[in-house]
Chains A and B, each alone.
Chain A
Amino acid sequence: MSNPKDAIKEKSMVIQKEMLANLFTELSTAKENGKKVVYTFVPGNLTELILALDMLPVYPEINALQSGMRKRSGSYIKDAEKLGFSEDVCTYVKCDIGMMLNGNIGPTGEKLPDPDLLLLSYTGCFTFLKWFENLERLYPGVEIAMLHTPYQEDGVITDDQINYMVKQLKEEVIPKMEKVAGKKLDYDRLEKMLGNAAKAEELWVKVLETAKHRPSPIDSYFAGVYYMGPLNTAFRGTEEAVSYYEELYKEVNERMEQNLCPVTPEGEMKEEKFRLVVEGPPNWTNFREFWKIFYDMGAVIVASTYTKVGGLYDQGFRHDPLKPLETLSRYCMGCYTNLNLPQRVDLIEHYIKEYKADGFLINSIKSCNSFSAGQLLMMREIEQRCEVPVGFIESDLVDPRYFSYANIKNRLESYFQMLEQRKIIMSQEEAHV
């Protein structure tokens, strides 16, 4: 591992930082400048619609994860529990509500503006519905628009489902958004944004696919969550996002050509020992420590399902400017947690094979049924189909009470030992052939 001081701040990181800083400045002055603010979710987000109507998006999930990283989530969660929320429920919801109870202070230390619209585009998780029902009551009188995204229960997107979504968009969601924005949707502008989205998506896929190279120049999970930021949040559809992914791809590609390993918070990894596919979101409260366990062992995540919650672009989906409402509908239905369990297993199997992974690991999140329910069966299926060592650890997104460092480290160390042994056995077998 090279010295952390040597770690170069890559240009793409600087660009992303600037993009975020500008967004938060805009948000902090939104009310003065008459800008309308829309709270919405990451999976199945309709960012192009929001931006095309000159509104500003806020993502409560992102606020929650940032609160987790800033070590604020623990107290926010407790405050929500004092209000009557059970210890058992999704901690993102509680963290968000706790943050609101404490003045809704964003990552820059400034208060986030109250929403003018709650845009409940509810994809892949039933809890979203409950979350915004609660917010609607906590912001009395706020406008709320709901887009129900049908689940891919049969592993396909049907015409009935598309028609249902397009009708909702046309007759309910867009009129409500226009009402709040005080203007009509400019479809030319929307189409242009969808075109930009497709360009950024193309580049993002190229970035992800560099992990097929040995060694992988990126960590698709721990670094992937940063890389996916602009596309999953306020910037999809913008020129800035396209430039960001151009720069990111350039950097990653250069690293790949030089056979370099991923960059970590402590500098560049020197050796790729294990290639893993990971299912499930990361823990945010102890993100750095969690990541360190992996890079200290030379483990690189070459593909992850979590980086697909905001869209499954690597499986071919691109926003299509020629069919704006249909494409938004397909996008919402195609996000990872909106896939049925057999599709999820197939996707993981595909990743393990495509990315030539040595193992498969699940980080099961205590408070997220959408991801977690069924993971043990998924694990068995993968074990049978791919014959790679599988590992299972448990933590939470933002509740520090459920991150046990010693426990996770022990489990991972045993898992890495298993991978090591398998490597030895396999190389011995190869030598015999």
Chain B
Amino acid sequence: MTQAPPRLTTLLDECKQLAFDLNFTYAKQWKSESENRILVGYLPIYVPREIIHASNGLAVGILGAGDRKQIIKGDAYYQSYICHLPRGVIEMALDDNLNNFDGFLFPSICDCVRNLSGMFKLAKKGKFTRYFDYPQNFQKNIGGTFYRELIETIMNDMFKINGVKITNEALNNSIALYNRNRQLIEEMYAIRQEFPWRLSAVDAYHVMRAGMVVNVEKHNLMLEEIVQLISHDFGESLDNIRVVISGSFCEQPPIGMIKSIEMAGCYIVDDDLMLGSRWIIGDIDAHTNDGLNSIVDAFLTQSAPSSAIYDVGNPKGARLVTQVKMRNADGVIFCAASFCDPALLDRPDLQKACDNAGIAHINFQFHENTGQFKVIKEQAGTFSDSIKLWV
């Protein structure tokens, strides 16, 4: 078997650099290159980035400090029984990593993120700070109307900063770019599903995470190349099982942990690590005379299953089982941040759905700065061995 193409290695190195640049150098540089550009930071999981793009802005994903920054001040803001992500975010805010950002959006996924939005308000960070309280009602005339008004409020916040009025043409253009982005991501996942050895889980993670901090045009170019490069055969298949990772949609596991899972014999063929980039399933209509309406409709009817969405009537357990089958996976690794209520409160029900469908599973809890992976590696290894033995 041949080696990975050198161009792929170069691109992956670039993604790696971008993914963990906690100073957001690329984004800040991008902003400085032209007038009226703005940076809008957002926390997991999802915001409609199309709106920010159409307003001459760059939506920058803030995913915590991981194991890349020593947390000193952040710990003084949070009790030990609160997940790790917000303390890293506060540390970054206090350490000027987020200087030059114009606004911040905090999607309504849990009370930690919600209250963090208030902490940003108290600390007077950014020109606007919004808790992005998307509807939990999915009727067009109820939740849809409310969602549209919410987005318009943010459009207005951005307009006040750069004076850019979003035209429908601009919005359709942004929608098309993000459609392409999601298509390419899905292509990358589809190739990895069949040939997971061509792009390791860690590399795929870097590619996805880089997409949170660069403009979509650049990310699309990178993805086009990566997808093309991994479409050709190279590398060698290992006798690994295939797993789906569930529960890591907000605080991100350290790279060492993703690596350990793969090294223990588990190809990660799907995950919810960068769920925000894949939140909308399929395309958003980019050819209407009301692009905002298309974005609203997509949220109401094409949102991915998530712990942050009221799921009665469309249970996520069943959706997880479908995902496992679609990816031809052997099992699920439930991998949630410690103290993460949304992920952990969903876990028993998701596990039950797996049990009923005969899908094997194990679970871990982690902190973004966990440094010890021995136990996790052992657990994943045993999981892999047990599946190999029975399948």
Query: Could you tell me the distance between the alpha carbons of A120 and B114 in the complex, rounded to whole angstroms?
Result: 19
Contact indicator A150/B110 (Cβ below 8 Å): no
The winner among A89, A127, A161, A366 for most chain B CB atoms within 10 A is: A89
Q: Assess whether B108 is in contact with A151, with CB atoms less than 8 Å apart.
A: yes
From the candidates B82, B112, B348, name the one contacting A83 in the complex (CB within 8 A): B348
B78 close to A (CB within 8 Å): yes
Contact flags (1/0) for A340-362 with B, using CB distance below 8 Å?
Answer: 11101100000000000000000
Query: 9 shortest A-B CB distances, which residue pairs?
Result: A341-B118, A84-B348, A153-B131, A130-B345, A374-B115, A164-B146, A148-B136, A86-B344, A369-B111
Q: Which residue of B lies closest to A131 (CB)?
A: B345
Chain B residue at minimum C-beta to C-beta distance from A369: B111
Contact A133 to B344, CB < 8 A, known contacts A151-B131, A369-B110: no
CB < 8 Å neighbour of A164 from B145, B310, B351: B145
Whether the pair A146, B133 counts as a contact (CB closer than 8 A) is no
Beyond known contacts A374-B118, A377-B123: 5 more, CB 8 A cutoff: A85-B344, A164-B137, A373-B112, A374-B119, A375-B79
Docked CA distance A171–B141 (Å): 10
Of the candidates A136, A160, A345, the one whose C-beta lies within 8 Å of that of B149 is A160
The 18 listed contacts between A and B (C-beta, < 8 Å) are A84-B352, A127-B111, A133-B346, A133-B349, A148-B137, A153-B117, A160-B149, A167-B141, A172-B137, A340-B118, A364-B79, A367-B81, A369-B112, A372-B79, A373-B111, A374-B77, A374-B115, A377-B77
Residues of A within 8 A of B133 (CB): 150-151, 153
The reply to whether A372 and B82 contact each other, CB–CB distance below 8 Å, is yes
B341, A90: Cβ atoms closer than 8 Å? yes
Contacts of A146 in B (CB 8 A): 136-137, 310, 312
Q: What are the residues of chain B within 8 A of A394 when measuring CB–CB?
A: 79
* A369 pairs with B341, CB closer than 8 A: yes
Output the least CB separation between B76 and chain A (Å). Answer: 7
What residues on A are CB-neighbors of B79 within 8 Å?
A: 364, 366, 372, 375-376, 394
Chain A interface residue count, Cβ-Cβ cutoff 8 angstroms: 52
Considering the complex, which residues of chain B in the window 334-357 have a beta carbon less than 8 Å from any beta carbon of chain A? Answer: 336, 338-342, 344-349, 351-352
Nearest residue (CB) in B for A125 is: B111
CA distance A86 to B341 in the complex (A): 9
Mask, A62-91, CB within 8 Å of B = 1, is 000000000000000000000111101110
B327 at the interface (CB under 8 A from A): no
* A134 touches B (CB below 8 Å): yes
Contact code string B230-263 (vs A, CB < 8 Å = 1, else 0): 0000000000000000000000000000000000
CA–CA, A129 to B137, complex, Å? 12
Check B312 against A136 for contact (C-beta < 8 Å): yes
Q: Is B194 in contact with chain A by the CB < 8 A criterion? A: no
Q: Answer yes or no: B116 CB below 8 A from chain A CBs.
A: yes
B180 within 8 A of A: no
Which residues 154-174 of A have a CB within 8 angstroms of B? 154, 160-161, 163-164, 167-168, 171-172
Residue in A136, A148, A161, A369 whose beta carbon sits within 8 Å of that of B115 in the complex? A369
Residue of B nearest to A144 (CB): B312
**Interface membership of B156, Cβ < 8 A:** no
Q: Smallest CB–CB gap between A225 and chain B, Å?
A: 21
Question: Which one, B114, B312, B347, contacts A86 given CB within 8 A?
Answer: B347
| Chain A CB within 8 A of B276 CB | no
Question: How many A-B contacts if CB must be within 8 Å?
Answer: 159
Interface residues of B (CB under 8 A from A): 76-79, 81-82, 86, 108-112, 114-119, 121-123, 130-131, 133, 135-137, 139, 141-143, 145-146, 149-150, 307, 310-312, 315, 336, 338-342, 344-349, 351-352, 365
In the complex, the answer to whether A148 meets B135 with C-beta atoms within 8 Å is yes
Contact of A133 among B111, B135, B312 (CB under 8 A): B312
A122 to B137, CA, bound (A): 12
Residue of B nearest to A339 (CB): B118
Q: In whole angstroms, how far apart are the Cα atoms of A411 and B123 in the complex?
A: 29
Cβ-closest chain A residue relative to B112: A373
A84 surroundings in chain B (CB, below 8 A) = 347-348, 351-352
- What is the CA–CA distance of A88 and B352 in the complex, to the nearest angstrom? 19
Task: Using A84-B351, A369-B82 as known contacts, say yes or no to A340 and B121 having CB atoms under 8 A apart.
Answer: yes
Residues of A within 8 A of B116 (CB): 373-374
**B347 pairs with A377, CB closer than 8 A:** no
Residues of A within 8 A of B150 (CB): 160
Q: Which residues of B contact A342 (CB under 8 A)?
A: 118, 121-122
> What is the distance, in angstroms, from A365's C-beta to the closest C-beta of chain B?
9
Give the nearest-CB partner of B349 in chain A. A137
Mask of A164-191 contacts with B, CB within 8 angstroms, 1/0: 1001100110000000000000000000
Task: Say yes or no: is A370 at the interface (Cβ < 8 Å to chain B).
Answer: yes
Please give, as numbers and ranges, the residues of chain A lying within 8 Å of B307 by CB-CB distance: 130
- Alpha-carbon distance between A390 and B233 when the two chains are bound, in angstroms: 64
A136 CA / B345 CA spacing, docked (Å)? 13
Q: Closest B-chain residue to A84, C-beta based?
A: B348
Minimum C-beta distance from B344 to chain A (A): 4
Once bound together, how far apart are the Cα atoms of A134 and B341, in whole Å?
13
Residue picked from A88, A127, A164, A342, most chain B C-beta under 10 Å: A88
Chain A residue with the shortest CB-CB distance to B347: A84
Could you give, for residues 406-419 of chain A, a 1 whenever the CB lies within 8 Å of some chain B CB and a 0 otherwise?
00000000000000
In the complex, residue of chain A having the shortest beta-carbon distance to the beta carbon of B152: A160
B247 to chain A, nearest CB (A): 11
Q: For residue B146, which residues in chain A have a CB less than 8 angstroms away from its CB? A: 150, 160-161, 163-164
Q: How many angstroms from the CA of A125 to the CA of B345 in the assembled complex? A: 14
> Residue-by-residue, is A231-258 near B (CB-CB < 8 Å gives 1, otherwise 0)?
0000000000000000000000000000
In the complex, what residues of A have CB within 8 A of residue B78's CB? 373, 376
> A5–B288 Cα gap in the complex (Å)?
78
Do the beta carbons of A130 and B139 come within 8 Å of each other? no
From residue B240, how far is it (CB to closest CB) to chain A in Å? 26
